[in-house]
Structure 1
């Protein structure tokens, strides 16, 4: 590289013009095994050997023949004084000098040891300098780490000694020995703190063997600590030191490495406490059973809490999944509806395919609805409800769902209390239980019989404490019992878990019972399952009693066809997902409405300002930045008479709280059918703001 460098383009000029002194010095540099460089002339042009090239990093080979100030510009202010001293005739030596150097485009702290020597021309005039340099960064950092460490060690030793001397608990280190009774059959105390005597009652234990100290009980102590030494498992236990009559609470762990044969023991004298406990046991021999019962009760409560927390966590996850699915299903469902209305009038085969796709889409929507029900995130419309009327009104539906082979019995309590619940969701819950029961009875011997029963009951404080989140008080109970195959306890414990099913592949989603669980919990109720293999299953739903109100009779009617707009009403659609927004626009236009669109709150407010004839704001709730509720609030502040219809695939948001719609809020869930959208838009436009 030195031979091929165009030296004429550098301040050194052509090689044939170099002084003999420069050539000799260069030969010394090139032949050296250590990193060396020299600089020459008014600009101190730089030449170096192969060993030094590595220190330059990405500056090599551009540094060949370049001015020294240019090559090491980042450290020039640090070394220029040393260079000037050298050029004045004084050699300079620096050891482990810190510098911020350019390493691959970044300034990094490094340390160098170097030696500057004046370099003279053929007439003895100093024309440059020669440098021998070593990068000592690794050495300096190693020394610093070392200093920080053997310091940390001193601090640790002082801390250990302070703790060793001052703690109230006794502490000792024992080392195992091979004795007459075999390998590791004895141990000697190699260290003990001052509190050893106060807690154990034995003095001067260092250097004593356990078989000499307490010969009658040595075997037991050796066995305990030898197990710690051999397994590496720490132990905590209580034991009486018979020799001194002290009752000790001890903890022991192995001192690694195992080859040291050492175990550390920390202990304290708990004799007074032990005597007090023994006295209490003597005074009340039932105390232990009470404590055991209390512990068992606490364990049951903790297990119920863990189960509740697990169901809550899974519910949050399934709710989020359902939200995303609903957005996707909204696009699919709306596309199929519009495709049917516009293009499928004269093609029966295409219509059959289209109907199959719509049926699957509806099933998928039902699946996400069940997920939201389990997550307790479906918007409910509770109303005063007579459970006897609801169950009686479901008789035909239940018989149709169960089939002719299943005997249905209903036992309705006289004077059943009213409750406050969503009648449609409660019907779905009972129907879910009935269908599960039908499947369970399919493989059971004997006559299949389903019993639906209502009753008034009171859940007391004791029962409520066993079930996290349950309030004691009056409840109306609906039970569904079958004569099916029943469930083992481990299966029944997981019956409400989402996607858990005992049915074969393709026979169930595992969301039926979890949907019932979510709805009952969201309604402030309680659900209980009792089952035994071969003895059938009973599921009891407890709904809070509605006090001082009469239950309203549930009225179920046939949904009318979707009403259409008159071509004059203007609707503003606000949706951040383009596909969902476009399908909503086309659906509204198909229903006879004029439509404007916006992908967020800011453009929506601008359109409201520019179009005072907008009659309805149709907005998604969950949007980035300003959500739909905040958009509606601001729009109504500017336009007090504006009608608003919200849509969402996820109910845990700004318009639903505790599972119930906020007063005065109109909401349509995703995905929605075209007819449903038409009815809701007509309903909102025709009602008060």
Structure 2
């Protein structure tokens, strides 16, 4: 088939060379045309049964056409006879070139032979000639490689996800194993310590019973002292466990820590002995913080005792206070929100702690001290106290150089309260008058509370749960004091009973007694004026002091 003469050069001047240049024949163009690696063809659009310009015929094609498409002898063949199922798509591509005169580049699959082609196409001459040139190459291998790479990437992502899942599962199993090891260590330590304490209590009561049967007038004071001492040690153990688990009852107050330290240093000096120098290094203008001063002193005393034990030959214990501002990574690395913090640090020049032990120092019942010298609850109590106070404790130690333990507490923005005497200080207990309602579901505790309060001069009413307490409140128009356990059966807790009582008696004094800090029921920040918290177990003297402070304060 012929194509218009304009599609091939007719003379040397048509090639862009002047007459003096070497002549270029049509045969040379044909040789180049047939030698191309890329397929090339010229198509002419035809009208057909599917409408005007709905088909085309191949009027020129090089040898590479067959190599790239897999279709031989295309010259003279119509599209719809060659690939009827995909003709509409190819007509749309090249029809746009014919109508607009704008060249296009695209990639498409020739489904009939499974070849992927990268195509460029342009119109030859005016629209009326209906001619379009097509240049293309087979990129099937490239497409398959790209698809294989895509699938590899997808499977790689899946494999990475699977590997991460396996890693997370392994880490979870490790955490569970570590947790079970910690629980085993905790329960083992608890069983050991409580068995010792129960042996002392049980033995004391058995000997009291035996001596009373033998001789009612026998002196049993030493057995009573032994039993009471064991109960106090048991109470101290539970307080430390609650501190570690962040469930101890705290009474935070805004204070300047610097004001606590002079008297605290006297206590530490008496505790550690004369071989140790206690050095205070306090920052002037220290920011206030909201903290339970008694528990802070207990935490610092534990740190000072650890410092003493790390220096058996004596040495210097330094207590330092400082204002610090934590922002960005300085806060996140410590697990704290950005902001202002007050720090208290205890430093010694002792034997230090090995790196492997340093990772476990906050575990309950873990201790590096010789058997009988430590419970392993000191640092875990300090850690729990700091976290419950919305702070953190950090430890740094170098063997044969010393250890530094630093407690971070958030800055308090507000007025600092005046110091109040601790619950252990003996107060004059005047005889009080009035009516008190005692609410506790444990009958033995309720009996002791009633007897102690009656000894102070109160007329006592009793209730065993929240519902019974509300009934007593309705039947008792005049009430001067409410003493209630926080955790009560029957659906009403002690705080709800107190709120109900205060709706009609807004000035009613309330003393909560609790074994631990139940959720947010008695969060220290929610305690209102005229309320206080007493943690079980407590002595009669502690109860008397706290009630006196509450009603006379």
Q: CA deviation at 1:356?
A: 2.4
Structure-2 change in CA distance of 1:310 and 1:545 (3 Å): farther
Q: Report what 1:464 is aligned to.
A: 331
Alignment equivalent of 1:426, drawn from 280, 291, 296? 296
How do residues 163-562 of structure 1 correspond to structure 2 at under 5 angstroms? 268-270=151-153, 349-442=219-312, 448-468=315-335, 470-547=336-413, 549=415, 559-561=425-427
SS of the residue corresponding to residue 290 of structure 2 reads strand
Q: CA deviation at 1:592?
A: 3.2
SS of the residue corresponding to residue 434 of structure 1 reads helix
Q: CA deviation at 1:649?
A: 0.8
Tell me if structure 1 keeps the 8 A contact 2:502–2:508.
Answer: yes
Structure-2 change in CA distance of 1:668 and 1:555 (3 Å): closer
Structure 1 CA distance for aligned equivalents of residues 390 and 359 of structure 2: 21
Alignment equivalent of 1:677, drawn from 515, 538, 543? 543
Q: CA deviation at 1:482?
A: 1.3
Tell me if structure 1 keeps the 8 A contact 2:495–2:522.
Answer: no
Tell me if structure 1 keeps the 8 A contact 2:438–2:446.
Answer: yes
Structure-2 change in CA distance of 1:641 and 1:621 (3 Å): same
Q: CA deviation at 1:393?
A: 3.1
Structure-2 change in CA distance of 1:637 and 1:532 (3 Å): same
How do residues 612-631 of structure 1 correspond to structure 2 at under 5 angstroms? 612-625=477-490, 626-631=492-497
Structure-2 change in CA distance of 1:551 and 1:531 (3 Å): farther
Runs of 4+ in 1 over 6 A off after TM superposition: 244-249, 271-274, 553-558
Alignment deviations for residues 361-391 of structure 1 (CA, whole Å, 9 cap, x no partner): 2222122222222222333333333333323
Structure 1 CA distance for aligned equivalents of residues 155 and 260 of structure 2: 66
TM-score (norm 1): 0.48
Structure 2 CA distance for aligned equivalents of residues 564 and 553 of structure 1: 22
Structure-2 change in CA distance of 1:385 and 1:595 (3 Å): closer
Alignment equivalent of 1:662, drawn from 527, 533, 539? 527
Structure 2 CA distance for aligned equivalents of residues 391 and 439 of structure 1: 21
CA RMSD of aligned residues (A): 4.3
Alignment deviations for residues 593-631 of structure 1 (CA, whole Å, 9 cap, x no partner): 322222122332333333434432222110112212222
Q: CA deviation at 1:410?
A: 2.5
Tell me if structure 2 keeps the 8 A contact 1:562–1:675.
Answer: no
Structure 2 CA distance for aligned equivalents of residues 684 and 389 of structure 1: 24
Structure 2 CA distance for aligned equivalents of residues 497 and 358 of structure 1: 29
Q: CA deviation at 1:639?
A: 4.8
Tell me if structure 2 keeps the 8 A contact 1:565–1:682.
Answer: no
SS of the residue corresponding to residue 510 of structure 1 reads coil
Tell me if structure 2 keeps the 8 A contact 1:588–1:595.
Answer: yes
Structure-2 change in CA distance of 1:365 and 1:598 (3 Å): same
Structure-2 change in CA distance of 1:352 and 1:516 (3 Å): same
Alignment deviations for residues 43-72 of structure 1 (CA, whole Å, 9 cap, x no partner): xxxxxxxxxxxxxxxxxxxxxxxxxxxxxx
Structure 1 CA distance for aligned equivalents of residues 278 and 217 of structure 2: 44
Tell me if structure 2 keeps the 8 A contact 1:385–1:554.
Answer: no
Q: CA deviation at 1:498?
A: 2.0
Q: CA deviation at 1:462?
A: 0.9
Q: Report what 2:160 is aligned to.
A: none
Aligned residues: 377
Structure 2 CA distance for aligned equivalents of residues 627 and 634 of structure 1: 11
Tell me if structure 2 keeps the 8 A contact 1:247–1:270.
Answer: no
Structure-2 change in CA distance of 1:563 and 1:554 (3 Å): closer
- Choose 1 or 2 for highest CA Rg: 2
Q: CA deviation at 1:496?
A: 1.3
Q: Report what 2:131 is aligned to.
A: none
The answer to whether 1:594 aligns with 2:477 is: no
Structure-2 change in CA distance of 1:662 and 1:506 (3 Å): same
Q: Report what 2:73 is aligned to.
A: none
Q: CA deviation at 1:349?
A: 4.0
How do residues 137-148 of structure 1 correspond to structure 2 at under 5 angstroms? none
**Is there any run of 5+ residues in structure 2 with no aligned partner, and where?**
1-113, 116-140, 158-163
TM-score (norm 2): 0.58
Structure 2 CA distance for aligned equivalents of residues 248 and 536 of structure 1: 60
Structure 2 CA distance for aligned equivalents of residues 533 and 641 of structure 1: 58
Structure-2 change in CA distance of 1:654 and 1:575 (3 Å): farther
Alignment equivalent of 2:434, drawn from 569, 577, 594? 569
Tell me if structure 2 keeps the 8 A contact 1:380–1:660.
Answer: no
Structure-2 change in CA distance of 1:556 and 1:604 (3 Å): closer
Alignment deviations for residues 413-461 of structure 1 (CA, whole Å, 9 cap, x no partner): 344333332222222211110001111222xxx7533222223322231
Structure 2 CA distance for aligned equivalents of residues 603 and 552 of structure 1: 38
Q: CA deviation at 1:272?
A: 13
Structure-2 change in CA distance of 1:557 and 1:666 (3 Å): closer
Structure 2 CA distance for aligned equivalents of residues 374 and 595 of structure 1: 36
